Amino acid sequence: MSKRKLSRQQRWRIEKIQAERAERAARKAGQDDEKLAAGEYGAERDGRVIAHFGRTLDVASRAGETPTRCHLRANLEGLVTGDRVIWRAGEDGSGVVVARGERDNVLERPDMRGLLKPVAANIDQILIVFAVEPEPHAGLIDRYLVAAEATGITPVLVLNKTDLLPDEGGELRGLLDRYRGIGYQVVATSTEVDGGLDALYAQLADRTSVLVGQSGVGKSSLIDRLLPDEQLRIGALSEDSRKGRHTTTTAQLYHLPAPDESLASGELIDSPGIREFGLTHLTEREVTEGFIEFAPYLGLCRFRDCRHRQEPGCAIRDAIDEGAIHPERFASYRRIVDSLDSQ
């Protein structure tokens, strides 16, 4: 599809708006420099970005404290929720962020143009939520795992609605055992039974986490239980989908109070933009590396350009025949790679 051409007047308006924004930023930067020189800002302190709103953001120095609305120095760009920063408090109750600390990692999603855009930073784990109902599909779980592996952030599987699970576990037990056998951690949760969130609280303790998963698996219900004082940020829930209507599109970091003295508190980053993410930005190599049980066999194929289809001497296919790789996981891998080829 060809891009729509802008008229001369439209181009002039866009350039005018951009110039005005640049002028405001420069003027604000000058005012900041004057205030800093005059001693109107306090001493530098460490903080973390709680939410981001364009050129302004909320920063807190300690977990759970009321955040301070800050603006950025003109030379700072690209800050996201979860970033560690150095900031200074102003006499008027606002603040200014003067530097960004190093990132452990950054979670990115492709935008409407297919370009990767940072959404959140310094995350310890991605919790992939699925449920007994709707019945989980291994292929969809695999897609989430591949996407998580590509970020370099540890994925954890969270099985929700376990109160609906048959006593014997059914086919789902075999599916969970398969993922545990690969090396993934599986946490069982339920909001309907006493103690149904104990394992989840333990997993969240002393970590910064992100929840992802398809609609209907109960993410909103989990978040409501984990953050009882933050329910207003989600609108009414649909009885059919249980999907929250968010009042904001920005990622926000929430302090998770510890349920008791035996556990540490944690932090949760939530945003409608990171609850679901796809694979369109990944290469075939990245997808292959996202199946972690393939790792011992990569580079051992007879041909360096082996795509693990029908090539002779394929180490991946040999591993399947030997029982080291589950055939259903390989079939899932093939479907994902084929979907990339068709795009």
Could you list the residues known to form a binding site, using ranges: 160-163, 213-221, 301, 306, 308, 314
Binding-site residues for Zn(2+), in ranges, read 301, 306, 308, 314
> Across the chain, which distance is largest between two alpha carbons, in Å?
74
Cβ neighbourhood burial of 242 (10 Å; 0-12, 13-18, 19+): middle
Known binding residues for GTP are 160-163, 213-221
- Identify which of 250, 216, 210, 204 has the alpha carbon closest to the alpha carbon of residue 49: 250
